Structure 1
Amino acid sequence: MMTKALKGTMAAAAGVALGLTGVTAAQAQDEEAGILAAGDVVIEDPGIRLNGKLDGLDKKPHANMIALDPGDGEYRTVYCIQLGVPLKKDNAHEERPWEEIPVEDLPMVLGVLTLGYDGTNAGELLEEAGLASDDYGDVTQEQLAYAATQSAIWSLTDGWDLSTSDPTEDDVADEIVPALQEWLLANAVPVEEPEEPFFDYDDTDAKVEGSTVGPFTVDTNIDSLSFEQPEGATVIDENGEELTALADGQVFSVKFDKAETASVTIVTDTVEWTTQAGRTFVPVDAEGANVEGQRLILAEEFTEEFYYEIPFEIVVEEVPSQSPSESPKPQLPVTGSSLTTVATVGGAVLLAGVAAMVLMRRRAARADWGSDA
């Protein structure tokens, strides 16, 4: 005698997927998994050459004014955060969390960036530091602001020592760059790593009852993610009432219309997230593995749009009953595991899906540096 048993896989295969809108979405479709492209890294201006010492040796690096397309088709100001290693030409650059960046004092670096030049505020920065002038000679206020900010960052990340007697190869820069660097370092305070948007949910208590899979508890730093009910199922709260949005701490379940094999995906509405300065990028090879080379840090904030896709699946299978006299007990036909075990397996799949979501947020850029620093 055979009976039908309901098996909930809960977020089978994909788990939580992040969709990116606009330019970023189009670029993402053309990339291999885990290396979703941003665009190019370019030198917008050769900047000012600095004079100083690195590890006790005389060095003359250019404070090249570098910009990165982090995924929205617009170039954003970035800075180098490892002077002692070479810049990598024609390498993709992927975003990495701070814990994966072999650089000291990143909170103070971000503190300098918060005060320093972000690609738009050169005049205001020089004015605030008491260094504004009516005539900058052969250099621009943008070059001065960038060079001082870059020099201050290198002093934190690499122990770079800007020369006091001959700091640059320009008379105006000789006066302003050291003074602005000193002002930035004197006034900066540590700033912690900026948050990325995340959405996850806890399936510890989830199980399958009838055609309902859940409950799940939302874990997110997004205020609210609204959505329309998926076709073939209803997202409900603890009281069985329909939900139209998910926020941090919300408990929800997915109730399928019928107790039969089916898949549904919750697609949230598009939301905006302001990406703060301080995101870090590393050069990678064709397989996406880190390579030794200059790391970059984002200097200006920008707004991006995205949405989440949250798939669920249930499967109805034929399983044997235990005996003619006993009530049928749902079991997996191969392993004999109970549905509670199935829920646990679903949770493991879910965690793999969340990891995939994180990879989807990685941004890559093709570098074209011009001359090395």
Structure 2
Amino acid sequence: MMTKALKGTMAAAAGVALGLTGVTAAQAQDGEDAGISAAGNVTLEEGIRLNGDTPEGSQSPEATMIGLELADGETRTVYCIQLQVGLEQDLIHEERPWEDIPVEDLPMVLGVLVNGYNGDNAAELLEAAGVAGEDLEGFSADQVAYAGTQSAIWSLTDGWVLDSADNADVAVQGVQDYLIANSEPIDEPDFEPYFEVDDAEAKTEGTTVGPFTVGTNFDEITFSQPEGATIVDENGDEVTSFTDGQQFYVKFDKAETATVKLVTDTIIWTTPAGRTFVPVDGEGADVEGQRLILAEKHTSEYNAEIEFDIAVEEVPSESPKPQLPTTGASLTTVASVGGAVLLAGIVAMVLMRRRAAARADWGSDA
């Protein structure tokens, strides 16, 4: 007996290259995984010079306000996470996972970043820390908010102890104390984009198969309807976008084995805070220098065409089907009268990270 069973395929090694500067559709070549790369130039603005101590002795570092300049012209707020290591301002910086960063307590650092200064919340942070009325000695609220957040980070990564010797330092100390007292450790975010579909609950009714459940960390993926089928919701209404946790059905035009292809139109992606960056040389190799951590999340919309397939194939049944007591016909056969049983395969798109990309690629547009 031949019955229709679940059989899925991916579009030809489909992948996504996703960076802070843009998204491009890509394909894996010879086993090389498509993935994330992100890089940028460092920009500096004057900050507040702090006084204090580390296990290595007294220090007077400046909490210089650092930004990571991206190819699209946007500059994002970042912080130093190694007080004793010099900043390589003139080098490109590329993203690296936490496991490649020689810094302890990054979960708590990210907890501080989530509550700390992210580039546009200085007044709110100083108010929450109870230092909005302090004499800032000519420094701006942004400088104090940044310095307080940077000082809190150094206290975690380098054992830094701030000496509140003047009014500006008192305000900085207040911000630091507030952040340490009100922050909880946060695990490394999932920076690798993924999209997958669970077919565990999929059943067939006529030419409609589902439900399938989307699992993704993209905010939204929009797509064009495929030939030979329509993507619909539980009410049979047309669906043209996917979000995490969404359920959908595939309504085939004909009751026959088939493959339908979905092509994305746009991808909306939120870059999370906590991404870490290292300086690299002209060959893309890591250079000893200050590691930086991204302080703000931001959402962007990208144009990216990604193809993936839903395949329906006929394969031999692996186990006997239940028999009707009067006719001996299998339940599958009865269900197939008037039309083939259609079961759509799992849609899986594995989007993996490429740890090092050529410098020429990081600023490309898709």
Fold match, TM over 0.5?
yes
What are the equivalent positions in structure 2 for 1:13-162 lying under 5 Å apart? Answer: 14-18=13-17, 24=22, 36=37, 38-43=39-44, 45-70=45-70, 72-133=72-133, 135-162=135-162
Cα deviation per residue 1:315-356 (whole Å; 9 max; x = unaligned)? xxxxxxxxxxxxxxxxxxxxxxxxxxxxxxxx9xx88x7336
- 1:219 deviates by 3.9
| SS of aligned partner of 2:67 | strand
Distance 1:119 1:311, change over 3 A: same
Cα deviation per residue 1:243-278 (whole Å; 9 max; x = unaligned)? 8455658698999x9xxxxx9963223243333322
Distance 1:182 1:286, change over 3 A: same
- 1:80 deviates by 0.7
Q: Which of the two has greater helix per residue? A: 1
Relative contact order, CA 8 A, sep 6+: which one is greater?
A: 1
What are the equivalent positions in structure 2 for 1:328-347 lying under 5 Å apart? Answer: none
Distance 1:356 1:148, change over 3 A: closer
Distance 1:264 1:356, change over 3 A: farther
| SS of aligned partner of 1:47 | strand
Supply the AA of the counterpart residue of 1:149.
Answer: T
| SS of aligned partner of 2:224 | coil
- Structure 2 distance, partners of 1:235, 1:183, is 53
The aligned counterpart of 2:184 is: 189
The aligned counterpart of 2:275 is: 279
Cα deviation per residue 1:104-137 (whole Å; 9 max; x = unaligned)? 1122112222222221122222222221237532
The aligned counterpart of 1:333 is: none
What are the equivalent positions in structure 2 for 1:298-309 lying under 5 Å apart? Answer: 298-306=294-302, 307=304, 309=306
Q: Could you tell which deviates more after superposition, 122-131 or 11-20?
A: 11-20
| SS of aligned partner of 2:144 | helix
- 1:71 deviates by 5.8
Supply the AA of the counterpart residue of 2:14.
Answer: G
The aligned counterpart of 2:351 is: 354
- Structure 2 distance, partners of 1:157, 1:296, is 12
Are positions 1:310 and 2:307 aligned together?
yes
Supply the AA of the counterpart residue of 2:43.
Answer: V
- Structure 2 distance, partners of 1:68, 1:313, is 40
- 1:150 deviates by 0.5
**Quick check: 1:38–1:72 contact (8 Å CA) kept in 2?**
no
**Quick check: 2:271–2:297 contact (8 Å CA) kept in 1?**
yes
| SS of aligned partner of 1:227 | strand
The aligned counterpart of 1:329 is: none
**Quick check: 2:218–2:270 contact (8 Å CA) kept in 1?**
no
Supply the AA of the counterpart residue of 1:96.
Answer: R
- 1:291 deviates by 2.7
Distance 1:74 1:185, change over 3 A: same
The equivalent position to 1:173 in structure 2, one of 154, 168, 175, is 168
**Quick check: 2:78–2:295 contact (8 Å CA) kept in 1?**
yes
What are the equivalent positions in structure 2 for 1:4-19 lying under 5 Å apart? Answer: 10-11=9-10, 14-18=13-17
- 1:298 deviates by 1.4
The aligned counterpart of 1:229 is: 225
Distance 1:302 1:72, change over 3 A: farther
- 1:63 deviates by 0.7
Report the TM-score when normalising by structure 2.
Answer: 0.64
**Quick check: 1:201–1:219 contact (8 Å CA) kept in 2?**
yes
Distance 1:219 1:274, change over 3 A: closer
- Structure 1 distance, partners of 2:115, 2:58, is 28
- 1:242 deviates by 11
What are the equivalent positions in structure 2 for 1:213-292 lying under 5 Å apart? Answer: 219-222=215-218, 225-230=221-226, 244=239, 245-246=241-242, 248=245, 266-292=262-288
Cα deviation per residue 1:36-72 (whole Å; 9 max; x = unaligned)? 55542200x2211122233332222211100113565
User: Aligned residue pairs: how many?
Assistant: 309
- Structure 2 distance, partners of 1:254, 1:71, is 42
| SS of aligned partner of 1:268 | strand
**Quick check: 2:36–2:353 contact (8 Å CA) kept in 1?**
no
Distance 1:111 1:218, change over 3 A: closer
- 1:191 deviates by 2.6
The aligned counterpart of 1:5 is: none
Cα deviation per residue 1:89-110 (whole Å; 9 max; x = unaligned)? 3222122333332221122112
**Quick check: 1:235–1:254 contact (8 Å CA) kept in 2?**
yes
